[in-house]
Structure 1
Amino acid sequence: MGSSLDRVEALLRQRMAVAGRRPFVLGICGAQGSGKSTLADGLAQRLAATGLRVAVLSLDDLYLTRPERDALARDVHPMLATRGVPGTHDVALGLSVLDGLTQAGPTLLPRFDKAVDTRAATRVRVEGPVDVVLFEGWCVGAVPQDAAALSVPVNALERDRDADGRWRRHVNQCLAAEYQRLFGRIDALVLLAAPDFAIVRDWRIQQEEGLRARLRREGKPVDATMSDAQVAAFIQYYERLTRHILDEMPGRADLVLRLDAGRGLAGI
């Protein structure tokens, strides 16, 4: 991770030196389990040690609450009850947080509790204005697919539960609209590129194992965590857009860190 941190920090400081606004927003995109949070946290520590004010915002923390997603499932498509894809985040909240971080005074950053699948009551207080926002997430900076690309299912989930393509069209429309306003705040974009989508299952299983271990340490129940089979089914919600990102984003990201199966740096 040290080499990746060095590369990302160098890009950030180079771009900040010529940027005309604060905070500088660095987008960090990568598939589930690719190490986005670890990279963002390590970079935040480095920057803070040099006197910069830093805020870390995760796209995951902008997920809609479970009742809000249940309403989408009822009114738009049943698959929207499952968090993950564009359309299941509170984009207005993300924009509000970014606006708040430009101003003097406190901004409360939301936190999403995956163990109970809804937003946590506790939020993180950050004093603004900040110099840098590290905005990380699995589809941060993504752009929509062409309509023609939506016609063929990419996996069994889409084939069986979205046979008419209504869910994936809705997701694509959301990504093309309000998400572009959110991602338009990004000043530089880094992609942690998985070697392929197949490895994402293993990475996501490792994440779930880590979550179970943390819950046990805290004396909390692990019933809500997913089995390996459930993880394999869950990541199908992310597959279409993850594949699209790996195909499209390297051509326009400011920095692409190509990872090997162990998340080591394989190329730049």
Structure 2
Amino acid sequence: MRIYWQSFIDATASAAYLAKLSSYLNEIASPGTTVEVHGISPPDRGFGRLSEFRCAVQAVDQGIQAEADGYDAIVMGHFQDPGLYELKSAVGIPVIGTGEATLHLAAQLGRMIALVSLDDVYRNMHREQADLYGLGHRISHIAGLNILPSDFSAAFAGDEVAKARMIDGFRKVAEPMVEGGADVIVPAGVLPGLLIGGEYGLKVGAAPVVNCAAVALMQAEMQVRLHRLNGLEPNRGPHCCRAPEQAMGDFRQLAAQGFRRG
């Protein structure tokens, strides 16, 4: 099984993180599964809706190519899942949204879910995301660490002091959430998910901390197996009908050549 993992991080600027992520995913993958991590350049930066939209276009285009290259599944390795449904409509292989998979698992672990995101700018996006997945009423808290992807570099490069500092900062954000009634803590990003959620048995109070990187990978493996077993795929009627060839061609031309101004 070959899984294409689409990160929204630049492969050069965050090489230590992507190397750690690739090593971790392949270490926990089932026998016979390989995971190939790919970045985006420019990465998600200047956080906000426009950057998410731009990265979504790149990710969808790269996902279409991943199917053509023979991958068995695609993981959108960015918690906000921009372009998720568009990519699901464009390919016939399973497409897993890290945020979608993690929120649905978190809803099985506790009643009220708290999200710790990279930045407060994502708070409304996470609310909208949870509403889209039918879980808006289960989200009790959302707060940002207000840090940049580069702030994780030292921890992923092996600096234990930096790692401890990051985990301590995460706890300081999460503890008031648990005191306020949150049952499950979700690091809303693969960066904090890999660093913090990878700690065995990590809890904040009684609230388990969900490792979104592991959840997304294992969901991908499950969906590939179900697809092979009985052809299970998204609803191809009104929910997520397959894009016609003309739409596919127009989209890929746009991604390759940009707009023609008329």
TM-score for both structures, normalised by structure 2: 0.33
TM-score of the superposed pair, with normalisation by structure 1 = 0.32
- Larger RCO, structures 1/2 (Cα 8 Å, 6+ apart): 1
